[in-house]
């Protein structure tokens, strides 16, 4: 009888842990940001990041309900094993029904052997694929210039080099120069949030633009009480640029992301959709 009781308690505890971890990975938070700008009329941006090949039905529903003017996907849409590729293409076909979708690569896409073909397939379903180029959105009577960066910091050796301080960052200044030629509100899509101001002479915050949207850090994966975010690739332990906003103009907004990569679950760190409301 005692054995049965202990077994029952163990099963209840195990079931509780499984339910808790499921909820941690599947409750989606909506985070709202409000930005005032004289260079832009009323504009609503939905930022989706780091789905990692998870065709999240809730994300489609919530994105449709949010009724965005544009959708920005800030990398790691498909993971480096090309898992669920067809499902993610079908997911993307639904997204483009809601608004124009601006997409950049993350480190996972850049590790794909069939990278060029995947980029073409994403373009074919209607994504505006930005590989170090600027696209102008003017559907509402004012210009919003969007620079998408293809940073290609994808190799695992890159992580070691960044940790050791020996990584050589790409010079993105020619692309920022193209962006700065444009009038109106200027957005930069960059997968790596630490590149905003944590990269000495190559930092992006030195340039003339309004808003950078980034992901990659997964909110620190675990966000522990009294400690905060625990780890991010490229930033290490107790990283700074994992969620929230930084700066004024330019301003950085970091998404906690929606899926998971190698590590299978989050802790006190729900998946997140960012909504950026821009008004005069």
* pLDDT at residue 264 greater than cutoff 80: no
Of 25 and 254, the one with more pLDDT: 254
pLDDT given at position 161: 73
The model's confidence at residue 163, banded by pLDDT at 50, 70 and 90, is low
- Is the pTM higher than 0.85? yes
Domains of the chain: residue spans and CATH: 29-279 (3.60.21.10)
Neighbours of 14 (CB within 10 A): 10
pLDDT given at position 203: 93
Percent of the chain with pLDDT over 70: 97
Q: Are 145 and 134 in contact (CB under 8 A)?
A: yes
Its sign, for the CA torsion 256, 258, 261, 267, is: positive
Kindly report the average pLDDT of the chain as a whole number: 90
C-alpha dist (Å) from residue 146 to 59, 125, 156: 23, 20, 29
Residues 194-217: what's their mean pLDDT? 92
Residues 57-68: what's their mean pLDDT? 96
Judged by average pLDDT, the poorest of 39-43, 162-166, 196-200 is: 162-166
The model's confidence at residue 220, banded by pLDDT at 50, 70 and 90, is confident
Residues 139-164: what's their mean pLDDT? 83
Residues 84-105: what's their mean pLDDT? 97
pLDDT given at position 24: 75
C-alpha dist (Å) from residue 11 to 16, 18, 265: 8, 10, 20
The model's confidence at residue 199, banded by pLDDT at 50, 70 and 90, is confident
């Amino acid at each position: 009888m005692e054995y049965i009781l202990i077994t029952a308690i163990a099963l209840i505890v195990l079931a509780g842990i499984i339910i808790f971890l499921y909820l941690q990975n599947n409750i989606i938070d909506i985070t709202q940001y409000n930005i005032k700008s004289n260079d832009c009329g009323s504009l609503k941006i939905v930022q989706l990041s780091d789905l990692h090949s998870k065709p999240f039905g809730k994300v489609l529903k919530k994105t449709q309900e949010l009724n965005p003017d544009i959708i920005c996907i800030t990398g790691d849409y498909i993971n480096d094993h090309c898992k669920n590729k067809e499902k993610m293409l079908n997911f993307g076909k639904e997204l483009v029904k809601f608004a124009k979708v601006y997409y950049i690569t993350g480190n996972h896409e850049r590790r794909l052997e069939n990278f060029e073909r995947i980029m073409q397939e994403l373009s074919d379903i209607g994504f505006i694929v930005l590989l170090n180029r600027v696209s102008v959105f003017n559907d509402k009577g004012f210009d919003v210039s969007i620079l998408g960066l293809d940073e290609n910091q994808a190799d695992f050796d890159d992580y070691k080099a960044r940790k050791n301080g020996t990584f050589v960052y790409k010079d993105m200044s020619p692309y920022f120069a193209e962006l700065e030629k444009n009038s109106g509100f200027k957005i930069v899509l960059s997968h790596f949030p630490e590149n905003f101001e944590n990269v000495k002479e190559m930092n992006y915050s030195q340039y003339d633009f309004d808003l950078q949207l980034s992901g990659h850090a997964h909110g620190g994966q675990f966000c522990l009480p009294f400690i905060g975010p625990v780890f991010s690739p490229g930033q290490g332990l107790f990283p700074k640029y994992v969620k929230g906003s930084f700066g004024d103009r330019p301003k950085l907004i970091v998404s906690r992301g929606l899926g998971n990569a190698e590590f299978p679950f989050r802790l006190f760190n729900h998946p997140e959709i960012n909504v950026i409301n821009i008004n005069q």
